[in-house]
Amino acid sequence: MLDDVPVVQGGMQWVGYAELASAVSNAGGLGILTALTQPTPEDLRKEIRKCKTMTNKPFGVNITLLPAMTPPDYGAYAQVAIDEGIKVVETAGNSPGPVIKQLKAEGIIILHKCTTIRHAQSAINLGVDFLSIDGFECAGHVGESDITNFILLSRARQALKVPFIASGGFADGQGLAAALSLGAEGINMGTRFMCTVEAPIHLNIKKEIVRAQETDTELVLRRWKNTSRLYKNKVSKAASKIERESSTGKFEEVAPYVSGKRGREVFINGDVDFGVWTAGQVIGLIHDIPTCDDLVKRIEKEAEDTLNAASALIVPRSRL
């Protein structure tokens, strides 16, 4: 599934455009376009074709199934990926069975994101090829189990019969080495790739990521079983306060604060407090804004050095 380096760029809403996906793939990782960032399936087709002009390396498409009164036509987005010859699709969200069946019928490799072993086993029953095991550290939808990757990855190694990559909390080669040691085939990075030269978001947001610490995230929407990890700014703190203190428990009270439309504007206008935007705890490990090529090469070297150093600690019994 992976090209040269076992690093996948997460499919991020309003971030997973051709500029970033192609740069990650050109660097030796696997870039991912985000389907629902595009207004229509035909817009996704245009973005796939644009990405093909920017890289001759493999790249994938993310299709996240979200709860909605009027859901998008997920089947149409999937069909575009099929028509355009995409070989890897990252799926996530609720009831992905029909989309997975549609894609598998065309021989597409399915990478499905899960936050629990139970959900991972359900996805295996649907026929997925790879799993992305997302720990509680991750940005965005963290699930409701609060299990961090140190435990979750080891449980995946013990329980799952399908290969998996690790997602949530990864930004460097030391993290890649740790994930490999725990049984993963590689890592998925979202927040780290947001903070690269090619990420199509405002420079102010990248500088804010560099400035931030690991404590600068906020969990919201737990009251409604839709817990999301967001950057801790004025809006997410206000949403959290309403959630804690409201006596009615009505989602309508907090809805204006967690508007995805305002979150998208953050990446365009560079005002870090204009709306909510996702960020993982790994934000505290990010201290620069490299190109994707420099970042992937750095991660590869750090991982090799870390694994070699660990191997050097093993002394044959004959020398004891």
Domain parsing of the chain, residue ranges: 7-201
136's CB contacts (< 8 A; 6+ apart) are 115, 142, 143, 145, 146, 147, 148, 149, 152, 168
Question: In this predicted structure, what is the pLDDT of residue 315?
Answer: 78
Question: In this predicted structure, what is the pLDDT of residue 43?
Answer: 98
Question: In this predicted structure, what is the pLDDT of residue 241?
Answer: 95
Q: What is the CA radius of gyration of the chain?
A: 19
Question: In this predicted structure, what is the pLDDT of residue 165?
Answer: 98
Please give the backbone phi and psi of residue 258, each rounded to the nearest 5 degrees, phi first: -110, 25
User: Which residues lie across from 90 on neighbouring strands?
Assistant: 62, 111
Low-confidence stretches of the chain (pLDDT < 70) are 1-3, 317-320
Report d(CA 170, CA 282) in Å as an integer: 6
Domain 7-201: CATH class, spelled out:
alpha beta
Contact 267, 275 (CB under 8 A): no
- Find the helix or strand (DSSP H, E) in which 134 lies: strand 130-134
Give every strand in the sheet of 217-220, ordered side by side. 140-141, 228-231, 217-220
Torsion of CA 302, 300, 88, 20, to 10 degrees: 90
Question: In this predicted structure, what is the pLDDT of residue 68?
Answer: 76
- The pTM for the full model equals 0.95
Question: In this predicted structure, what is the pLDDT of residue 1?
Answer: 53
Question: In this predicted structure, what is the pLDDT of residue 319?
Answer: 63
Report d(CA 317, CA 93) in Å as an integer: 49
Question: In this predicted structure, what is the pLDDT of residue 314?
Answer: 87
Question: In this predicted structure, what is the pLDDT of residue 120?
Answer: 96
